[in-house]
C-alpha cells in the first residue's frame, strides 16, 4: 500500500502538472478559432506556437526515455494543438497579405480609371449586368464608349482577383527552423548511438533551452508593444497560464 506522500508526489502532483500544461497549451484555442472565422490573424502573435511545437516534441522524446506517462500526456495534446495553430497562422498571414494586396490593386485600378466614372446623366451602368445588352448602356447620342470602358474595367478587376502573386508567410520559416533543430538533435544522437543516460542528458538540456524560449516567446513583440503602446499582441491567457 503506497503511503500518502508517495501518492501525492508521484500521482497527484504530476497529474495537476499535466492538467495545467494542457490548459496552457489550449489557452490560445478560442482566439485562434475566432481569427480563422474572421479570416485575419489580427494582433495575435504566432511565434509562441512555433516554439511550442519544439517544446512539446522535446518533452515527448524525453518522456519516452524515462517512460513517464504524465510527461507524455502533458505534452502530446500540446503538440497536436501547436501543429494546428501554426497551420492557421500561416494561412491567416497569407490571407492578410492577399487582402491588403487586393485592396491596394483595386484602389490603383479605380484611381487610374477615375475619369471613367464621370458619365453623362443619360448613361446607365450596371457592373454586375450583362455587357452584351448594349442598349442598356447607350448614352443619349448612342455612344458605346461607356460600355467599352466598363467592360475594360470589369475585365481588369477580374484579372486582379485572379492574379498570381507570391505567398509569403514568415511564420513558416520560424516553424521550419524549430523543427530543423529537433530533427538535427535527434538524428545526431541516433547516429552516434549514446547510452540512455547520455540521451537523457542531451535531450534534457536542449528541451530546457527550448522551454526558456517558449516562456519568453510571447514577448517577441515587445518592441512593437512599446512603440505603439498597445499590448494586444501579448496573449494574456497564455502568459497567465505560464
User: What is residue 117's predicted lDDT score, i.e. its pLDDT?
Assistant: 52
Cβ partners under 8 Å of residue 183, min gap 6: none
| Residue 142 backbone zone (phi > 0: left; psi -120 to 50: alpha; other: beta) | left
Name the more confident of 215 and 105.
215
The upper half-sphere exposure of residue 37, i.e. CA atoms within 13 Å in the direction of its Cβ, equals 6
Alpha carbon distance 83, 212 (integer Å): 20
For range 37-62, the mean pLDDT: 92
C-alpha span between 91 and 168 (Å, rounded): 10
Alpha-carbon gap, residue 167 to 141, rounded angstroms: 48
DSSP state of 188: H
User: Which stretches within the chain are classed as H helix?
Assistant: 4-7, 13-26, 29-38, 47-66, 69-112, 145-161, 170-192, 196-216, 222-228, 236-241
Average pLDDT over residues 139-148: 50
CA angle 39, 40, 45 (to 5 degrees): 140
H/E stretch holding 67 reads none
How would you class 128 by CB atoms within 10 Å of its CB: exposed for 0-12, middle for 13-18, buried for 19 or more?
exposed
Does residue 5 surpass a pLDDT of 50? yes
d(CA 221, CA 7): 42
Nearest to 178 by CA among 85, 50, 91: 50
Stretch 124-133: mean pLDDT: 44
Instruction: Write down the pTM of the prediction.
Output: 0.72
Average confidence (pLDDT) over 137-150: 51
Amino acid at each position: 500500500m503506497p503511503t500518502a506522500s508517495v501518492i501525492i508526489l508521484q500521482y497527484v502532483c504530476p497529474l495537476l502538472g499535466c492538467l495545467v500544461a494542457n490548459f496552457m497549451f489550449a489557452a490560445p484555442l478560442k482566439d485562434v478559432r475566432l481569427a480563422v472565422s474572421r479570416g485575419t490573424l489580427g494582433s495575435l502573435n504566432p511565434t509562441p506556437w512555433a516554439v511550442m511545437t519544439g517544446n512539446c516534441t522535446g518533452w515527448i522524446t524525453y518522456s519516452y526515455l524515462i517512460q513517464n506517462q504524465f510527461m507524455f500526456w502533458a505534452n502530446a495534446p500540446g503538440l497536436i494543438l501547436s501543429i494546428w495553430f501554426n497551420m492557421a497562422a500561416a494561412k491567416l498571414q497569407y490571407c492578410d497579405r492577399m487582402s491588403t494586396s487586393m485592396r491596394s490593386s483595386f484602389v490603383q485600378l479605380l484611381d487610374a480609371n477615375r475619369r471613367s466614372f464621370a458619365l453623362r446623366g443619360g448613361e446607365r451602368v450596371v457592373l454586375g449586368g450583362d455587357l452584351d445588352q448594349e442598349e442598356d448602356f447607350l448614352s443619349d447620342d448612342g455612344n458605346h464608349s461607356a460600355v467599352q470602358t466598363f467592360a475594360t474595367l470589369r475585365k481588369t478587376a477580374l484579372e486582379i482577383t485572379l492574379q498570381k502573386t507570391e505567398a509569403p508567410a514568415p511564420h513558416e520559416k520560424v516553424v521550419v527552423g524549430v523543427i530543423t533543430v529537433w530533427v538535427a538533435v535527434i538524428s545526431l544522437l541516433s547516429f552516434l548511438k549514446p547510452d540512455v543516460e547520455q540521451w537523457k542528458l542531451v535531450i534534457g538540456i536542449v528541451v530546457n533551452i527550448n522551454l526558456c524560449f517558449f516562456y519568453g516567446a510571447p514577448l517577441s513583440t515587445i518592441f512593437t508593444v512599446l512603440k505603439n503602446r498597445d499590448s494586444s499582441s501579448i496573449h494574456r491567457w497564455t502568459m497567465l497560464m505560464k
